Structure 1
Amino acid sequence: MNTPSTSSFRRFSPLASVLLASATLFGAAVLPLAAAAQSPAATPSAAPAAPTVRIRGTVVYVDQSKVVVKDRSGEVVSLARVADMPISEVYRIKLSDIKQGSFIGTAAMPQADGTQKALEVLVFPEAARGTGEGHFPWDLQPQSTMTNATVADLAAAPKNVRGGQQLKLSYKGGEKTLIVPPNVPVVTFKPATDALLVPGANVLINAQERNGTPTALRVLAGRNGFTPPM
């Protein structure tokens, strides 16, 4: 199976021009990459890091040197993989598991009243608190956003979202009010191995061009047909 061209790789991602620092929900999980991009040894003349892109799809084949996936657009792509590529299992938890003080990441749609309506909510493990903190564009749906923030307060959602939650989110430089409908997926993640990457497994891959080769930096996967909702 041929590795796709550079133009083919970029065609997968709606946000291929987003810079590394804001392109990935799990930025802390690829700290060696981020640290290299921000190293004091770097000079203004150094070539900028290639953007990180997100590939959502299903596993076709995995071995120690590559990951082959079918993108949600239907295109099959073969990616090299970094050494010790992190793999995480994303799994469901309950809406009630979101507590005051939880650090979350949420893809959401801006509403006319200034609130954000959640498309999904990820509760970060405590060790990942602070990952990618802030509010920025996201590519789950057109015009969607991502907010990584601390839950400062929570209450019942408005009556028109019966059974949901209303969260006040606080992050450095701002705050948002998030409405979480009761049917929105709430998830977290834990370390996993290649054993999770069976053919047909649903994945979200953070990838980057390295030396002209599309390369998988990190894989987030669901078990038994579960799709990571990010």
Structure 2
Amino acid sequence: MKFISTLIAVATLATAGTSYAADRQLHLRGEVTAASAGELTIVDRKGVKTTVQLPEKAQVLDVSRSSQAAIQENSFLGIAAAPASDGKIRATGVMIFPEAARGMNEGHYPWDNIEQGTMTNATVAKVIKKSSSTELEMRFGGRSQQVMLDKATIYGQFVPGDRKLLVVGAKVMVIGAEGADGKVHANAVLVGRDGFMPPL
């Protein structure tokens, strides 16, 4: 039951929490430099420091490294990607969802991982092996999207986590929003295990 409730809460991967305006939602990626029961300080890859409020309702996900070998037909994936040729996209990061999360935020939409980035949450219809890469045919809502995997693609998987993971040095992705008080409030925190940065 805890697992299911965590997955429902993490639907914030694509939408802001209901208590915040949608146009103020954000994704913050970086390293924890200070942590307390109610706050995290995070420095992003550009060196920008942000203090994040951590409400009791904020969920924590334990994200570990995975591999392309874990992907097969009918897997449900979240794929952060950049534009490629011929209408395809190149996966920069892939999250392999547990079965209980199948269908969560299904679709293809803009994502802020990179300039012109996209997110595709969908089911693998076909795995096409090529000499230098692998292509996935992803299907969602009667549509399809071709995705290219290559040597630079990073793979992860997640399970419900504990706040004990939120320590100095942890690599995290915060999904949250700027509140009316001007502060950043977390809805969910994806925490990479053993120094792994969540690939979304």
Q: TM-score range by the shorter chain?
A: 0.7 to 0.9
Q: 2:3 maps to which residue?
A: none
Q: Secondary structure at the match of 1:96?
A: helix
**Which consecutive residues of structure 2, in runs of 5 or more, have no partner in the other structure?**
1-5
Of 181, 184, 193, the match for 1:223? 193
* CA drift at 1:50: 5.2
CA offsets 1:132-172 (integer angstroms, 9 cap, x no match): 11111111111121111000111203x3xx2x321110011
Q: Secondary structure at the match of 1:149?
A: strand
Structure 2: how far apart are the matches of 1:123 and 1:56? 19
Unmatched runs of 5 consecutive residues or more in structure 1? 1-25, 39-46
The answer for the alignment partner of 1:92 in structure 2 is 65
Structure 2 contact 98–158 (Cα < 8 Å) conserved: yes
Q: Which has the higher strand share?
A: 2
User: 148, 159, 171: which is aligned to 1:179?
Assistant: 148
Q: TM-score, normalised by structure 1?
A: 0.75
For residues 71 and 124 of structure 1, do their structure 2 counterparts lie closer, same or farther at Cα, with a shift above 3 Å needed? same
The residue identity in structure 1 corresponding to 2:9 is A
Equivalent in the alignment of 1:105: 78
Listed as ranges, the matches of 1:134-173 within 5 Å are: 134-157=107-130, 159=131, 162=132, 164-173=133-142
Query: In structure 1, how many angstroms separate the alpha carbons of the residues matched to 2:134 and 2:34?
Result: 40
Of structures 1 and 2, the one with the larger relative CO (CA 8 A, separation 6+) is 2
SS in 1 for 2:116: coil
Q: Deviation digits for residues 43-81 of structure 1, max 9, x if unmatched?
A: xxxx95553200111101222211111122212221211
Name the CA shift for 1:198/1:35 in 2 (closer, same or farther; >3 Å): closer
One-letter identity of the residue aligned with 1:125: P
Query: How many Å apart are 1:195 and its aligned residue?
Result: 1.9
Measured on the aligned residues, the alpha-carbon RMSD in Å equals 2.5
- Aligned-pair identity in percent equals 34
- Cα contact 2:26–2:178 (8 A) shared by 1: no
**1:165–1:182 Cα contact (<8 Å) kept:** no
> Which letter maps to 1:29?
A
Inter-partner Cα distance in structure 2 for 1:173 and 1:152? 12
CA 1:35–1:229: 2 relative to 1, 3 Å: closer
In the alignment of these two chains, the number of paired residues is: 192
1:192 aligns with 2:161: yes
TM-score, with structure 2 as normaliser: 0.86
User: Matches of 1:36 and 1:68 in 2, distance apart?
Assistant: 20
